[in-house]
Structure 1
Amino acid sequence: VPETAEYLVARKYTRATLQFPDHLLSEAAKVAVSVQEYCASRDHEVQAYILADTTYNSLSVDEVAAAHVDADCVVHYGRASMTALSRIPAFFVFPTQDLDVDAVASNLSSSTLSSLDTPVLCFLDQPHLHQRAELAAEVARRMEAAGSLSPHWTWPDVPIRQLEPEALTASGAGLASCRAGDEHAQTDSAGDATRGTCCAHQGDCSATAPADSSVGELRAAGYRWSGTEMGAGPVTYIWIGAPDAPALQLLQLTRSTLPWWTLDPTTYTLEEGLPVGVRRLLRRRYALMERARDASIVGVLVGTLGVAGYLGAVEQLCNAAEAAGKKTYTLLMGKPSPAKLANFPEIEVFVLVADPQGQILDCKEYLAPIITHHEAMLAFSPDSEWDESLYRLDFGTDGPAQASEETDATSELALRAAKGLRLTPVATTGAHALTPASAADYLVHKRSWRGVEAPLAGAAPAVPRAAVEGRSGRAAGYQGEPSNL
């Protein structure tokens, strides 16, 4: 509460929205009152609004709901994806959960990890970041005492707890980089904002990368670190935190070809290898991507209005689909659900433009598959190939798809097959006719109702006419009807 209030007072914000996940709503009222009282003690009046139901997902900043009350900022509580914002500044308050530092350090220093001579990235789940420096120092002390200290251990952090709205990149399709929102943020020698004054982690325990590697600030799932690029050599990843954390799933899906170790803080057991579920999910994503290649009608599902670059991503998808000969519909409906998307049976595949940690990766309950921006760009590009090492969940900078022009008869048959249609012989004439191969194709090609303005076969289009006033009253007796009937 004090850090939140100081943030509001320093920036002279008078209307703030407090965004809580579902499991913290029971504390929302007390926090809102405490923030207002603390600001009042500093001679600054603040009106706090509670965002109890997020528009899309609880990990991203709900700029849509905040705009309804014309808020100056959003204070986000709980886990956060830390994606770049487009309109409203935000302040983040992470949950805290204490680790048994001795137990974790003992597991890390006594395992085969202590003898690795390759770079190691050790990620802590957001609730444990407040013990990052303490844990790093304890692991280094134990390894040094055992004579097995590796010089390449790096501990990524989330150093920035406040974000400002970012402008889009020149292409409009990529995510802009985050920056510190506080005017007093400390900067390094290169001028990049690296740490805000509200950050609780003032120590830097990142190890120095090898001299022959590509060194720079790297970012993933909201974390930042300085070290080796993924393509510069083998890197071992360690995750300390909940096994179902959204950030862990993002990291493992986008780095599935690298060695992984996970440590569950509830059992303090260290496990080696990528979970079987991640491999299975990647295979399913590949199958859905191949299925999207054959779709003729695509629904671009806008799953965010706050992540910077979403408009450019939507435009890029529509252009790529058009170049591939597909028809697109753009839909905006808040949180997607099977019931909502079932209202569009003509659409054969949906592309969700959303926060990287808010993607719907398990879409078994939906009538049509839901794929990501990256998967769609691969599906719409005829010469693209699936590569797990290049898999991503953000908007990225995927190039536009190029559609090849085919004019011969063989290509025409292939085009019809890609649209989900099959050729069947007609018994009377021996010719071939197109038969729908799915319910969506039937609705598109065989549905007789085309709307009230659709002319009959051979008729000219209807001439628009001015609207006239209709009947008024109730169904039991409209005005102008005889009353004795």
Structure 2
Amino acid sequence: MELDRIKSEIKKRHARRILLQFPEGLINSALKISKELESETGVETFISVDPCWGGCDLAENEALKFRADLLAHFGHSPWPKKPKIPTLFIEARSDVEIKDVVLKAANLLNARKVGLATTVQHAHKLDDVKNLLEEIGFKILIGKPSGKAKYAGQILGCDLSSVSNLDVDQFLFIGGGTFHPLGIALATGKIVIAADPYSGKVINLEEMIKRLLMQRYAHIVKARDATRFGVVIGSKFGQINLELARKIRNKIESKGREAYLIVADEITPERFYGLEDIEVLIITACPRIVIEEGPQFRIPVITPRELNVLLGFESWESASKDLLQYKL
């Protein structure tokens, strides 16, 4: 958790107040960290318990409201956009053992050339994984840092550029959950094996991808006859895609349909209950909302690329390869 680094920065800046922000998986460390920082530096700490979805979801407004001198954001690598307040991105590298789950995943790999990918928590272990798999006989490639990713092989939910052009036959993703490896499969069209070092589970995402694509296409079909669209702009630190939202509105209106720009911080189904005339939502904030939360909305929730298909600007075959990248 780099507490020595935080303490050093507190002393260097003569900070009196600090806001601590954690993703859900790390919030159980909050009290211990708060107590240690206060007892050893004399700083006053505030713990944010609002949801935190990534480096894009920085609690800078909360820090400003409480006149914090420093914000410590845990669990994510630095975001390209400069915050309004001095911020420490504490990447919270995982020390969980991954060798066993990697060897387990190797049994599901049936191609020689394999691309490796992970989140920031395990990026420091990719070279070890590469060496381990190459000893078995695989040829391993790791993408260079690009886009919003700081490290080789690192991917984000909204930036898969480190894997999108790798010349490999399959991918191995190391990390928790299925959202990130699903993104790799969509962006590359390749089979992805997901190895979760926390649960020890290893899965081939091929069937999951087929089901997801069927579900996504069903949302487009359901929205085909809609005349009123809501273009949702996230108001979080790194999710304000205003120009993209304006382009989307222009596209919709060019087809003789109505489009409204809607701003929200937490984009949840209940936020839209009062807008009963809106028939479809296009999310420009974060692709995770569409994939994981979309089925809970009363109306179709789609990505910008899916809108292209709906309006006839692009084929499903083309758009389905890049559904999670928020561009037109």
TM-score by length of 1: 0.56
Q: Does 1:85 align with 2:81?
A: yes
Counterpart amino acid of residue 27 in structure 1? S
Structure 2 unaligned blocks of 5 or more = none
Which residues in structure 2 correspond to 1:100-119 (within 5 Å)? 100-101=98-99, 103-104=100-101, 106-107=103-104, 113=110, 116=112, 118=113
Of 215, 229, 242, the residue aligned with 2:165 is: 229
Over the aligned positions, Cα root-mean-square deviation in angstroms equals: 3.7
Aligned to 1:52: 49
Q: Which has the higher helix share?
A: 2
For the structure 1 residues 154 and 47, does the alpha-carbon distance in structure 2 shift closer, same or farther, using more than 3 Å as the test? farther
Deviation, 1:227, is 7.9
Counterpart amino acid of residue 123 in structure 1? A
Deviation, 1:265, is 3.0
The answer to whether the Cα contact below 8 Å between 2:187 and 2:321 also exists between their aligned partners in 1 is: yes
The answer to whether the Cα contact below 8 Å between 1:63 and 1:305 also exists between their aligned partners in 2 is: no
Aligned to 1:241: 175
Structure 1 unaligned blocks of 5 or more = 159-175, 180-193, 196-205, 207-216, 399-485
Deviation, 1:112, is 5.3
Aligned to 2:35: 33
The answer to whether the Cα contact below 8 Å between 2:230 and 2:261 also exists between their aligned partners in 1 is: yes
2-structure distance, mates of 1:149, 1:337: 43
1-structure distance, mates of 2:172, 2:163: 15
Residue 17 of structure 1 aligns to a residue whose secondary structure is: strand
For the structure 1 residues 86 and 330, does the alpha-carbon distance in structure 2 shift closer, same or farther, using more than 3 Å as the test? farther
Deviation, 1:20, is 1.7
Counterpart amino acid of residue 238 in structure 1? L
The answer to whether the Cα contact below 8 Å between 1:18 and 1:75 also exists between their aligned partners in 2 is: yes
1-structure distance, mates of 2:296, 2:34: 38
Deviation, 1:139, is 3.4
Deviation, 1:369, is 1.4
2-structure distance, mates of 1:225, 1:370: 24
2-structure distance, mates of 1:17, 1:266: 28
Aligned to 1:201: none
Counterpart amino acid of residue 74 in structure 2? Y
Counterpart amino acid of residue 139 in structure 1? L
For the structure 1 residues 35 and 367, does the alpha-carbon distance in structure 2 shift closer, same or farther, using more than 3 Å as the test? same
Residue-pair matches, total: 322
Aligned to 2:132: 138
More deviation, 345-354/285-294: 285-294
For the structure 1 residues 372 and 86, does the alpha-carbon distance in structure 2 shift closer, same or farther, using more than 3 Å as the test? farther
Q: Does 1:123 align with 2:117?
A: yes
Deviation, 1:61, is 2.2
For the structure 1 residues 226 and 34, does the alpha-carbon distance in structure 2 shift closer, same or farther, using more than 3 Å as the test? same
TM-score by length of 2: 0.78
Residue 97 of structure 2 aligns to a residue whose secondary structure is: coil
Deviation, 1:178, is 4.2
2-structure distance, mates of 1:6, 1:149: 43
1:301-345 Cα distance to aligned partner (Å, 9 max, x none): 223331165121222222222222222222234323333322111
For the structure 1 residues 240 and 333, does the alpha-carbon distance in structure 2 shift closer, same or farther, using more than 3 Å as the test? closer
Identity %: 20
Of 217, 223, 230, the residue aligned with 1:299 is: 230
The answer to whether the Cα contact below 8 Å between 1:300 and 1:351 also exists between their aligned partners in 2 is: yes
For the structure 1 residues 284 and 99, does the alpha-carbon distance in structure 2 shift closer, same or farther, using more than 3 Å as the test? same
The answer to whether the Cα contact below 8 Å between 2:117 and 2:163 also exists between their aligned partners in 1 is: no
Larger Rg: 1
For the structure 1 residues 358 and 85, does the alpha-carbon distance in structure 2 shift closer, same or farther, using more than 3 Å as the test? farther
1:423-478 Cα distance to aligned partner (Å, 9 max, x none): xxxxxxxxxxxxxxxxxxxxxxxxxxxxxxxxxxxxxxxxxxxxxxxxxxxxxxxx
1:117-156 Cα distance to aligned partner (Å, 9 max, x none): x3x212245443443333333334x33xxxx353xx1345
Which residues in structure 2 correspond to 1:448-463 (within 5 Å)? none
The answer to whether the Cα contact below 8 Å between 1:85 and 1:308 also exists between their aligned partners in 2 is: no
